[in-house]
Amino acid sequence: MKKIAVFASGSGSNFQAIINVIREGLLPAEISLLVCDQPGAFAIERAKANQIPCFIFSAKDYPSKADYETEIIALLKDVDLIVLAGYMRLVGPTLLKEYEGRIVNIHPSLLPAFPGKDAIGQALAAKANWTGVTIHFVDEGMDTGPVIVQERIRIEENETRESLQKKIQLTEHKLYPSILHMLLTQGVVINDEKARTY
């Protein structure tokens, strides 16, 4: 059975979508750890309700990113894949070196458009006709790693933040589990490199 760790900072609705598909027997994986940098985040409640071990930390309690990432690495016990799901921190060189090519992220825009915080607000402010969801490998940049998949979502004339967010979340909750299934069962080919399997 493949082991994954989920990193989240907020509500954890993507985390919940992954829990659900595993429970339904549709994703042959086990979530061995939730890593959360916001002690009040609802994602922690979801982990507790599903008996998933948590590592909860505050970055300010550590002298550096390298220090908390070293602690996280010890707890991960060599998981197959790290799944960022609303984790609001840049992954540093310590964790990247250890898990190179084995960290994925989901972002609510068609990258490289609208990277960073509040991608939905950025798309609305730009009066874009389209936005979407991107799943990509994580590198040292902000939402810059190799893209695995993108799905387009139309922004209607009368679109509100709430309606757009709802459409994006519906897409995310289907797309992330299906891409995790592909990564964990078949691997993936990116930029003509040989297939990566996990």
Please count the other Cβ atoms lying within 10 Å of the Cβ belonging to residue 16.
18
Out of 2, 3, 11, 159, point to the residue binding ligand GRF (CB under 6 A).
Answer: 11
Of 5 and 67, the one with the shorter C-beta distance to ligand GRF is 5
State yes or no: residue 86 binds ligand GRF (CB under 6 A).
yes
Tell me the per-residue interface mask from 154 to 173 with ligand GRF, x by CB under 6 A, - otherwise.
------------------x-
Q: Annotated binding residue at 12?
A: yes
Q: Which residue, judged by CB position, is nearest to ligand GRF in the bound state?
A: 86
CA–CA separation, 18 and 124 (whole Å) = 28
Smallest separation, CB 32 to ligand GRF (Å): 19
Task: Tell me which residue of 148, 144, 154, 142 sits closest to 178, measured CA to CA.
Answer: 148
Smallest separation, CB 13 to ligand GRF (Å): 3
Tokens of 23: 């429970």
State yes or no: residue 10 binds ligand GRF (CB under 6 A).
yes
CA–CA separation, 110 and 175 (whole Å) = 14
Which DSSP state fits 61? G
Task: Tell me which residue of 174, 176, 122, 132 sits closest to 153, measured CA to CA.
Answer: 132
CA–CA separation, 180 and 185 (whole Å) = 8
107 in catalytic set = yes
Burial 148-171 (b: 16+ CB within 10 A, else e): beeeebebeeebeeeebeebbbeb
Residues near ligand GRF (CB under 6 A), total: 13
CA–CA separation, 165 and 90 (whole Å) = 23
Interface with ligand GRF in residues 27-46 (CB under 6 A): none
Given 107, 136, 173, 181, which residue is catalytic?
107
Q: Annotated binding residue at 65?
A: yes
**Which range binds ligand GRF by CB under 6 A, 103-111, 121-129, 152-160, 185-193?**
103-111
State yes or no: residue 175 binds ligand GRF (CB under 6 A).
no
Catalytic residues: 107
The residue ranges that bind ligand GRF (CB under 6 A) are 8, 10-15, 85-86, 106-108, 172
- Binding-site residues sit at 12-14, 65, 88-91, 105
